[in-house]
C-alpha cells in the first residue's frame, strides 16, 4: 500500500487481480486506561473477506459465514459493504466497478474484540488492493471509522486503527483524525478470555458516567501518559503501574460475571495488568512474555467453567502487521 498521503488517481488500467482474500485481526481497545484513544492488534482471532471484481457495478454481499444469521446481507446496512461503497463513491467509481463479498467471521460478535472493525478493515483493504492501492492506510482510516459509526452509532477509531495499522495506536484527536503509532515492547503479550455472555456495545457505552471528579480524571491522564512513556522505554514495570482504569472499569465490570475474581486470578499469576477489552465482556491480562498470559487465561477459563460459564481464550503477542493478504 502507498505510504505517502497523496491519493493516486484510479482508472480501469490500474485494477489488479480478479479476486483477493484478506484477513484483519481482532483488537484490544482502550488498553485498560485509554478509553477511546488507545488500542492494539492481536494475532487471532480475526475476520476474512473474499472480494471478487464483477462486471455489474455496485457492492454486494454474497454470503456471511460464522455470524449465526445476525448480520445483514443488505449491502446498505452491512458495515463491510457500506464502507466499501463509500470508498468507491470517494473515487468516483460507483458506476464503473462491481465488487461482491464473502465474509467469514472467525471471531464472536459482541465480544469486545473489535468484531465489526476487523470485518470493515478487511473489506476496505481488499477493495483498495483490487483498485490498485490508490489510498494509503492513513487515507483508508476515515472509511473504517464510518464503518464503526454504522456498527455501533459512534465513529471511534480505537479498534479500527490498530486493526488497520497493526501494533499499538493512539488516537490523538478526531477533528481532524490524528492517529499515532506507538512503539511495541518486544515481550509484551496479551491473554484474552471471552466469557460467552452478552454485553452489547451500545448498552455498555450508556452506562459510562458523563461527568467524573477532576481527581479521577487527573489520575487517568497520568496513567495514559505513564503507559505511553513505558512503551517508549520498554519499561514493563511502568506499563503495569499505568494500566489502571479508575473511570470506566468500575461501571462496566458490573456487566461481566466473575470480573473481580478473574482479576484476582490474573494478578496472582503475576501479569502486569488486567482489565476489560473494549466494551467487554472479553477481559485481557497484559504480561511480559507469553507464559504468564497463558497461565492467566488457563486458570481464568477453569474458574469460569466451575461457574457454569463457557468461554474462549486467545494468547498473543502484539500483532505488528495488521491486515494480510491470504491469496
Residues forming the active site: 148, 201
Number of H helices, E strands in the chain: 10, 11
Question: Is residue 24 packed enough to be buried (19+ CB in 10 Å), middle (13-18) or exposed (0-12)?
Answer: buried
- Residue 228 corresponds to which cell in the numbers above? 505511553
**Long-range pairs for 250-254: beta carbons < 8 A, 24 or more residues apart:** 251/207, 251/208, 251/209, 252/199, 252/204, 252/207, 252/208, 252/276, 252/279, 252/280, 254/207
β-pair partners for 313:
193
Total Cβ atoms within 10 A of residue 72: 15
- Determine the angle formed by the axes of helices 79-90 and 115-130, rounding to 10 degrees: 40
Helix (H) or strand (E) holding 304: helix 290-306
- Residue 42 corresponds to which cell in the numbers above? 492481536
Total Cβ atoms within 10 A of residue 256: 20
114 — alpha (psi -120 to 50), left (phi > 0) or beta?
A: left
Whether the Cβ atoms of residue 193 and residue 301 lie closer than 8 Å to each other: yes
Q: Which phi and psi angles does 74 have, rounded to 5°?
A: -60, 120
Whether the Cβ atoms of residue 164 and residue 323 lie closer than 8 Å to each other: yes
Helix (H) or strand (E) holding 214: helix 214-233
Total Cβ atoms within 10 A of residue 177: 16
- Angstrom distance (rounded) from CA 270 to CA 237: 12
Amino acid at each position: 500500500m502507498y505510504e505517502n498521503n497523496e491519493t493516486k488517481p484510479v482508472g480501469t488500467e490500474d485494477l489488479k487481480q480478479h479476486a483477493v482474500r484478506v484477513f484483519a485481526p481482532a483488537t484490544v481497545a482502550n488498553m485498560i486506561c485509554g478509553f477511546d484513544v488507545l488500542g492494539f492488534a492481536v494475532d487471532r482471532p480475526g475476520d476474512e473477506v473474499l472480494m471478487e471484481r464483477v462486471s455489474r457495478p455496485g457492492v454486494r454481499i454474497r454470503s456471511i459465514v460464522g455470524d449465526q444469521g445476525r448480520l445483514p446481507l443488505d449491502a446498505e446496512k452491512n458495515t463491510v459493504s457500506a464502507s466499501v461503497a463509500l470508498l468507491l463513491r470517494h473515487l468516483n467509481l460507483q458506476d464503473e466497478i462491481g465488487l461482491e463479498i464473502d465474509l467469514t467471521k472467525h471471531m464472536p460478535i459482541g465480544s469486545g474484540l473489535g468484531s465489526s472493525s476487523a470485518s470493515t478493515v478487511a473489506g476496505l483493504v481488499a477493495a483498495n488492493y483490487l483498485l490498485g492501492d490508490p489510498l494509503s492506510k492513513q487515507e483508508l482510516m476515515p472509511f473504517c471509522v464510518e464503518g464503526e459509526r454504522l456498527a455501533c452509532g459512534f465513529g471511534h477509531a480505537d479498534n479500527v486503527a490498530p486493526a488497520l495499522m497493526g501494533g499499538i495506536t493512539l488516537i490523538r484527536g478526531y477533528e481532524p483524525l490524528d492517529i499515532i503509532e506507538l512503539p511495541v515492547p518486544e515481550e509484551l503479550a496479551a491473554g484474552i478470555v471471552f466469557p460467552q455472555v452478552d454485553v452489547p456495545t451500545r448498552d455498555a457505552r450508556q452506562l459510562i458516567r458523563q461527568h467524573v471528579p477532576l481527581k479521577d480524571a487527573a489520575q487517568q491522564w497520568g496513567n495514559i501518559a505513564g503507559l505511553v512513556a513505558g512503551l517508549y522505554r520498554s519499561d514493563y514495570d511502568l506499563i503495569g503501574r499505568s494500566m489502571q482504569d479508575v473511570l470506566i472499569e468500575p461501571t462496566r465490570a458490573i456487566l461481566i460475571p466473575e470480573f473481580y475474581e478473574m482479576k484476582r486470578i490474573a494478578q496472582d499469576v503475576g501479569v502486569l495488568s488486567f482489565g476489560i477489552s473494549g466494551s467487554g465482556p472479553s477481559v485481557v491480562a497484559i504480561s511480559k512474555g507469553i507464559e504468564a498470559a497463558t497461565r492467566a487465561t488457563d486458570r481464568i477459563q477453569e474458574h469460569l467453567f466451575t461457574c457454569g460459564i463457557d468461554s474462549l481464550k486467545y494468547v498473543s503477542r502484539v500483532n505488528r502487521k495488521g491486515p494480510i493478504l491470504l491469496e
